[in-house]
Structure 1
């Protein structure tokens, strides 16, 4: 009886984690640096090769707590007298005995509009799901309610988005899992992933001090049932090749987040801690580490690239 209760509590914890991830997708505190992870139109938005990675550990202190790893790369290119963007990403998300994985390719087409640039993007990839039933501790191994073996399945996953930039302003609208993938796990289990919609934006505010910039941003997502909004403000110091930032974020009814970071030998490193505003202990929040690198590309009609410097936020 106690073992079954423990299993139910573990599954409830997993459901709470999924709910906090807007039903399915992962919520990153550094969403402003990981835009291609939820909007294909954001690939190649600058004349730079962009590489980004993040690791998030949610509900710290709990057994089998959610842990997510993300790696992505994108770049712009010039072809047939037009500018384009291309990207690739890999996501690995573990929640209890479940593992979600996504491998996707992205493409964006860019046009000039109203003094800025409008990008239209699409993504296509493979969504994989697995459940490790061998780690379920049951008194009765023949209980049909719980699988005692490893189950896995996969499905095609599609997404699309729009992204507009003009000077210090940007705004994006996108959708993930547009085809609502239905993944079969074994012969009797299946998982349906609902489409999730995103709205993001931000602006750079220059201060009188030439070294300081305030960068407010927001991200709102919903799957039609649950929703999550994030509002973040960062104070960024830049001087020559040095950069440091300190920020705070808020997700209404969910959490408060503190962010800090800077560049180390040309590589941007950032850390954030998300403290939930629910009854969960403040020490059981979420840790996140972000690593980013950019290399300038000189896009010319001849296709030659000139490598100059690294990323500055």
Structure 2
């Protein structure tokens, strides 16, 4: 009962105040799925790669965020161009946010690596079904069904070579209005995000590699957050790692190459904020398929 009251109170605050909180979905396994935050990553693997992600945030809360995502991308035109697709369904309480974006990346060969310039375009559809609320007393404001459609576009740069990557992206350039909350005394807007990522593989011996990485998130009107971590890669088959998301979570990650075409991953976020006292953390599952390829394909970058 206390968990329901706490979560319901948090949702109420979102409705009656001006909100600048986290709006973009978090992905703990971003290092394996960089197209989710940077359109310039499209086609970086040459092969057609299709990935599904299922994330349950703040598990054990009724109405807590649940996200399902499909990511696909491939290199075309002699590997100079990459195309990609992201489709996601993000649900929290009575609210749902469906997104679909297509990505295009043009790659330029440089002396020591490849520089990709990317664009993405698509839309989000936010729906709120207030009929699902179990209210003790009737509320004329929190009734009915609300729907908003928001087209948007983004851009990014991505540089990589055989053992290093770095990226800078703005996935959503427009500050879209998510809801007209005049009747609620509130205003909701999706603020622009900036992502900076970098990582490098260090080979310790033929069977062991280490991949440290960093992700910095900057959102207009919100606090900057950073995520730093390291993954241990064993024989290019098993990856285990950990990371720290500033003032938010400690994360454990595992990825297994089941075959040369199929990989699976799992991550667990141990929540460090006050909400951790009421939740069982966050779980994220990944399943990825790559079409057969004649050459051995490393999936770090």
Alignment of 1:161-180 (within 5 A): 161-180=156-175
Residue in 2 that maps onto 1:153? 148
Cα offsets for 1:151-193 (capped at 9, x unmatched): 1121101110000012201100000220212245699677421
In structure 2, C-alpha distance between the alignment counterparts of 1:73 and 1:261, rounded to whole Å: 18
Q: 1:185 to 1:103 in 2, by over 3 A?
A: farther
- Range with bigger deviation, 35-44 or 227-236: 227-236
- The match for 1:238 is 235
- Tell me, in whole angstroms, the C-alpha distance in 2 between the residues paired with 1:149 and 1:54: 31
**Structure 2 alignment gaps of length 5 or more:** none
Aligned to 1:304: none
CA deviations 1:3-50 (Å, max 9, x no partner) are: xx77851515879xxx9x962111111001111111000001122212
When residues 232 and 164 of structure 1 are mapped into structure 2, their CA distance, relative to the original with a 3 A threshold, is same
> Where do residues 100-139 of structure 1 align in structure 2 (5 Å cutoff)?
100-139=97-136
1:257 equivalent among 245, 251, 268? 251
Given that 1:296 and 1:309 are in contact with CA atoms closer than 8 Å, whether structure 2 keeps it comes out as no
Describe the SS at the equivalent of 2:131: helix
- In the alignment, does 2:17 pair up with 1:9? no
* Structure 2 residue corresponding to 1:181, chosen from 152, 176, 180: 176
TM-score, normalised via structure 1 length: 0.84
| Counterpart position of 1:217 | 213
1:292 aligns with 2:288: yes
Q: How big is the alpha-carbon RMSD for the aligned residues of Structure 1 and Structure 2? A: 2.8
Deviations 1:34-79 (A, max 9, x none): 1111100000112221211111101111111110111010001116
**Number of residue pairs the alignment of both structures matches:** 290
With normalisation by structure 2, the TM-score equals 0.87
Structure 2 SS opposite 1:48: coil
Q: Is residue 141–residue 183 contact of structure 2 (8 Å, CA) maintained in 1?
A: no
Unaligned 5+ segments in structure 1 are 298-306
SS class of match (1:291): strand
